[in-house]
Amino acid sequence: MAVRERFSVPRYDDAALVRTGRVEVDEEKCNGCGMCVSICPGKALFLAEAGGKMVARMVQAELPECVACNDCAAACKREAIGAVRGCDFGMYYKALHRGDLCPPRRF
């Protein structure tokens, strides 16, 4: 970690510095039950109308809300939602020594 990073804190609403987690919703599979919306710890999801039905969508906010915990993916009965990107808050909070998202492996 560079010295400059150690001493600088990102502005949390600056998208150039902060990369939040991101979930993707398969709108074909999503039936708008709202389970993911109610359990999301960052309240990063909401229900929106799309093509005549309700589907879960990610909130477009300035502050990091999704931390890629994937609780939504675990709770979804239809496997319609899941994180596709981990979060990295940058500078002082930069994620170190991390790889891509991967389910548990059997060695």
Partner 1 sequence: MGVMEMMSETSAREGEASMYEYVEGRDFNPVEKVILERRSVRRYREEQVPEGAVRRILECGRFAPSAGNSQPWRFVVVRDRKMLEGMERAVRLRCRVFSFLLDWRRSPLGRLALLNSRLFIRLKRNELAPAPFASITLIALGKLRLFHGAPTVIFILEDRRGAGKPHVDVGICGQNMVLAAHSLGLGTCWVGFIELLRYSPYWKRRLGVRYPYRLAEAIALGYPVGKPDGMVARELQEVAWFEDGKCRTVL
Output Rg (C-alpha) for the chain, integer angstroms.
16
Pairing relationship of beta strands 53-58 and 81-85 according to DSSP bridges: unpaired
> Which part of the chain contacts partner 1 (CB under 8 A), choosing from 22-30, 37-45, 47-55?
37-45
Near partner 1 by CB under 8 A: residue from 5, 12, 22, 27:
12
As given in the structure block, the two tokens for residue 28 are 């074909």
As given in the structure block, the two tokens for residue 35 are 């389970």
3-state secondary structure of 69: coil
Q: Least distance in Å: CB of 27 to partner 1?
A: 20
Does 52 help bind partner 1 (rule: CB under 8 A)?
no
Does 60 help bind partner 1 (rule: CB under 8 A)?
no
CA 83 – CA 67 distance, rounded (Å): 9
Does 98 help bind partner 1 (rule: CB under 8 A)?
yes
User: Which residues of the shown chain bind partner 1 in the complex (CB under 8 A)?
Assistant: 9-10, 12-13, 18, 35, 38-43, 62-65, 67-71, 73-75, 77, 82-83, 86, 89, 92-93, 95, 97-104, 106-107
